[in-house]
Amino acid sequence: MRKIEEILRLSAQGKSARAISRDTGVSRPSVAAYLEKAAEHEISGSSEISGNLGPKSTRNREAVQLSGGGWLE
């Protein structure tokens, strides 16, 4: 979940998906998917998701519960 916050923070600083991928170690397609889902839900920074973080399942995966009730994995 911290990776997603970091991705959103770096994006808000104007970094490209490629640069964010390089800086975070998350694949470029995953970075692009996170940013696309965040844009769909009008989330632009970590302060907007801090109250909505939570695991979707018991698997060792990062997930963010979005305000609309959906999940960003």
Q: Residue 40: its pLDDT value, please?
A: 87
Mean pLDDT along residues 43-55: 53
Q: Residue 62: its pLDDT value, please?
A: 53
Sign of CA dihedral 12, 4, 46, 48: positive
Q: Residue 23: its pLDDT value, please?
A: 95
The Cα 41–Cα 70 span in angstroms is: 10
- Average pLDDT of the residues of the chain: 76
